[in-house]
């Protein structure tokens, strides 16, 4: 291959990363945006994050970029996506990286939506975030209906059923592939119980069941590991602290 041809391909490759939405290559070049990924990229999960420019989406994108199980990462948001895309793509990992949203994905994670503000309940978010989740799921149904869908958008207790209805109408609903992400409650429970017990949170395991909104969050203190006991005052404190952890952050 001539030096000039190599240079042109290198420039085209860089352009593909800097301007993915508008990038078009001539057929004769032999280079397509789909092929623009780092050498050494191993087969793995193709992951899309919808809402990648938000307060949850950006750190989530970073974690996915360094995850060895992720081979291709797609980011989508309604604002600021090119900047976030550029920033995350600069990380020195070998995972392939693209900005298209939903192209044959294995896993779609949805943190999109408006955040809860002081004085707002999760119910106040419903009218806005319900429509956002419905619209995004309609896109998933068209592009990658068999993908695993992880919903973070609040109120999770309500956005998961909405997403399920979209898939049911399309005839592609699989309850094993649609999950509401409520692990945050477990993380908080482990932290707060460890504080009460004076233990390392990494050594504490507190089962949490139910939903992800206030009184629907049920922590099983009788099943805590390592086995321990609590005073009535400690139980009251822990239940209130864990159920209202999200409100504490918002306020």
* pLDDT string in tens for the chain (251-residue length): 555 565 556 555 544 443 444 433 333 333 333 333 444 445 789 999 999 999 999 999 999 999 989 988 999 988 888 889 889 888 888 666 665 678 789 999 999 988 778 877 777 788 888 899 999 999 999 999 999 999 999 888 899 999 999 999 999 999 999 999 989 999 999 999 999 999 999 999 999 998 888 888 999 999 999 999 999 999 999 999 999 988 888 88
What is the C-alpha separation between 137 and 152, in angstroms, rounded?
Answer: 13
| Predicted local confidence at residue 127, as pLDDT | 82
Looking at residue 42, its pLDDT comes to 53
CA distance 213 to 198: 27
Question: How many Cβ atoms are within 10 Å of 145's Cβ, its own excluded?
Answer: 16
Q: How far apart are alpha carbons 162 and 165 in whole angstroms?
A: 5
Domain coordinates in residue numbering, the chain:
39-180, 183-250
In this prediction, residue 89 carries a pLDDT of: 87
Catalytic residue among 17, 33, 74, 212: 212
CATH class of 183-250: alpha beta
In this chain, the answer to whether the domains covering 39-180 and 183-250 adopt an identical fold is no
132: left (phi over 0), alpha (psi -120 to 50) or beta: alpha
CA distance 220 to 238: 11
Three-state DSSP class for residue 73: strand
Looking at residue 235, its pLDDT comes to 95
Question: What burial letters (b/e) apply to 171-184, b meaning 16+ CB within 10 Å?
Answer: eebeeebbebbbeb
Q: Which CATH number fits domain 39-180: 3.40.50.720, 1.10.10.10, 3.40.190.10, 3.90.10.10?
A: 3.40.50.720
Q: Residue 14: its pLDDT value, please?
A: 44
How many angstroms separate the most distant Cα atoms in the chain?
78
Instruction: Tell me if residue 212 is catalytic.
Output: yes
Residue 187 is predicted with a pLDDT of 94
Return the structure tokens found at 239. Answer: 């239940």
Residue 88 contacts by C-beta under 8 Å, 6 or more apart in sequence? 58, 61, 62, 65, 73, 75, 97
């Amino acid at each position: 291959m001539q030096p000039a041809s190599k240079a042109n391909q290198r420039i085209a490759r860089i352009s593909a990363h800097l301007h993915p939405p508008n990038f078009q290559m001539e057929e004769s070049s032999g280079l397509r945006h789909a092929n623009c990924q780092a050498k050494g990229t191993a087969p793995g999960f193709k992951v899309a994050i919808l809402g990648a420019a938000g307060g949850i989406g950006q750190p989530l994108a970073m974690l996915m970029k360094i995850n060895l199980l992720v081979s291709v990462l797609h980011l989508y948001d309604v604002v600021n996506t090119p900047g976030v895309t550029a920033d995350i793509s600069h990380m020195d990992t070998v995972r392939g990286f693209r900005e298209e949203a939903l192209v044959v994905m294995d896993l779609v994670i949805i943190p999109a939506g408006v955040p809860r503000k002081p004085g707002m309940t999760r119910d106040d978010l419903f009218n806005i975030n319900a429509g956002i989740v419905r619209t995004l799921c309609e896109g998933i149904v068209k592009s990658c209906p068999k993908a695993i869908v992880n919903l973070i958008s609040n109120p999770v207790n309500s956005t998961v059923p909405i997403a399920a209805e979209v898939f049911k109408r399309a005839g592609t609903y699989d309850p094993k592939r649609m999950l509401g992400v409520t692990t945050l409650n477990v993380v908080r429970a482990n932290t707060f119980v460890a504080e009460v017990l004076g233990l390392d949170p990494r050594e504490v395991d507190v089962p949490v069941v139910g939903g992800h909104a206030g009184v629907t969050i049920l922590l099983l203190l009788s099943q805590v590991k390592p086995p321990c006991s609590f005073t009535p005052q400690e139980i009251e404190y822990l239940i209130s602290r864990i159920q209202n952890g999200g409100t504490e952050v918002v306020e």
